[in-house]
C-alpha cells in the first residue's frame, strides 16, 4: 500500500537527508497504523500534536489501528514561552 506523508515544521528533520520538501511517498506491504508510520520515520508519539488522515483528525487512541487513507499529515508539538 502506498501512502503520502507530509511532515510539518520540525518533523521535516525525520525525512531522508537527500529528500527535498516535506512531502514523501512511502510503501507498506499492508495497511499501516499511524504507529507503524511513526516507526518508519523514527518519530516518537510525544513529538506530535496531531495527525490528519485525508484531512480528518485521528484521535490518539486510534493510532494503533490500520488506516485506509492515502494522505497523512503530521504536526509537531509547539512549545512556547
pLDDT in tens, 19-52: 999 999 999 999 999 999 999 999 999 999 999 9
So what's the pLDDT on residue 78? 84
Residue with C-alpha cell 516507526? 39
Residues 55-64 have pLDDT tens digits of 999 999 999 9
What global pTM score does this model have? 0.92
Backbone φ and ψ of 58, nearest 5°: -110, 120
Domain boundaries, the chain: 2-76
The correct answer on CATH 3.40.630.30 for the domain covering 2-76 is: no
Q: What whole-number distance in Å separates Cα of residue 28 and Cα of residue 14? A: 18
So what's the pLDDT on residue 56? 97
Amino acid at each position: 500500500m502506498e501512502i503520502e506523508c507530509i511532515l510539518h515544521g520540525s518533523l521535516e528533520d525525520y525525512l531522508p537527508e537527500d529528500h527535498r520538501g516535506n512531502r514523501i511517498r512511502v510503501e507498506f506491504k499492508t495497511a499501516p497504523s499511524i504507529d507503524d508510520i511513526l516507526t518508519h520515520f523514527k518519530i516518537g508519539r510525544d513529538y506530535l500534536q496531531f495527525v490528519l488522515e485525508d484531512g480528518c483528525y485521528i484521535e490518539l487512541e486510534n493510532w494503533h489501528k490500520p488506516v485506509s487513507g492515502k494522505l497523512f499529515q503530521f504536526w509537531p508539538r509547539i512549545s512556547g514561552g
